[in-house]
Amino acid sequence: MAEQILYDWMESIVQRLQLRAYVAGLGGVIALNSLVTQQRMSHENGITCRGELHVVDDPQFPEHEFFTPGRVFSCRVRHGAASWRDDAKLVVRSGSLKFADARGESPLDLLMNTGDVPLFWNVRNFWSFMKGTMGGRGKDWLPDLRANPQALRGGTVSVRRDPESFADMVYNSQVCFGFVGVDGIYRYARYRLAPADFDGVESGEPNEQDRSHPWLQNPLADETRNRNYLKDEMTTRLNVEHRPVGYVLQVQLRERPSSFEPEWVSSAFPWDETVTPFHDVAVVTLTEALDHAEAQLTWFDLSNHPDSLPVPLGRSIDDPHSLNDIRLAGKWARRARLYSYEKRGMPGPIPDSRLAPDWIAAPPMAEPPGS
């Protein structure tokens, strides 16, 4: 018995050291890329908006000291697209929420993406995904998708093609966060940011053809809109037409088991809404799109959170919580990017034309659409 306890303890130490090594290595590579290219850790192509967030007056979730009824925050929301600098590509879209109208520090930051299942759900398969990304994306993801059918499923449900607006999509946190109520019970939480008038149908959901090969991400051959059409739509709506954009922040809660981590902790498994319903947390109203410079200087960090909303950390590279370790390590990429701005100047906005030298087609296209 003593030998088994010692073995288990040593194995746990080795697994934690392995996780730290992976996170340090991945974080270092991503930070170096940000220093050289001045790009974000992910979702480089985006727009940042400001507004207000009102916690609902009659919460249907357990009482919580942070989400007190009627509490009001200034806020920022950044919408972006993963991997590519073109709004018309078939890509995962993001909605990051900051509980402050500030560039960095805030009482709470949440990172969310389209789809209820991601392409990776722990550090091990994040590394597999990253190898395809560094290889060139597109077809270079195929070995990972073939080896991980769940990753392929995540790709098919997470990408969006030609949405009408960022405001017409739903963004999910996917990973588990901690939620410690006034009652002292530790629960796991998953959040989503949904349009205020959400009817169950999102704009841009992929058709059967796109679902069958989500790694073919180029715009359609007959695309006529420019590379920034989604950002332009949001800017026009907020700054020219002065039409606010409304969302509802919602949460699912499940009590954390005391003895072991069940399968449902993994983001590979969405929670059944009929069993674990979403509860409204707050109403988010955006009123202004920020200019390019202010948007570039805005960053989001999972370490921005109160003690009552902890971020669970991983114990191995196969632990679903290890994705939180990777996201927290993104601070080094952010620091590298901002340092690069300081020393080399900030890069300009993304050009509208697909004939611009920074536009990439994968696989190559004979003639870029809408150019």
- Which CATH number goes with the domain that contains 298? 2.40.180.10
**Position 180 in a domain:** yes
The pLDDT value recorded for residue 366 is 82
**Position 119 in a domain:** yes
Tens digit of pLDDT for each residue in 58-108? 999 999 999 999 999 999 999 999 888 999 999 999 999 999 999 999 999
**Position 330 in a domain:** no
The pLDDT value recorded for residue 260 is 80
174-184: average pLDDT: 96
Domain that holds residue 304: 44-317
**Position 14 in a domain:** no
**Position 61 in a domain:** yes
**Position 365 in a domain:** no
Instruction: Flag whether pLDDT at 6 surpasses 80.
Output: no
**Position 352 in a domain:** no
Cβ contacts of 10 within 8 Å, gap of 6 or more: none
User: What is the domain count for the chain?
Assistant: 1
The pLDDT value recorded for residue 5 is 57
Cβ contacts of 346 within 8 Å, gap of 6 or more: 38, 293, 296
Q: Could you please report the per-residue DSSP string of 201-257?
A: --TT---HHHHH-TT--SPPTT--S-TTHHHHHHHIIIIIS---EEEEEEEEEEEPP
**Position 348 in a domain:** no
Tens digit of pLDDT for each residue in 100-120? 999 999 999 999 999 998 888
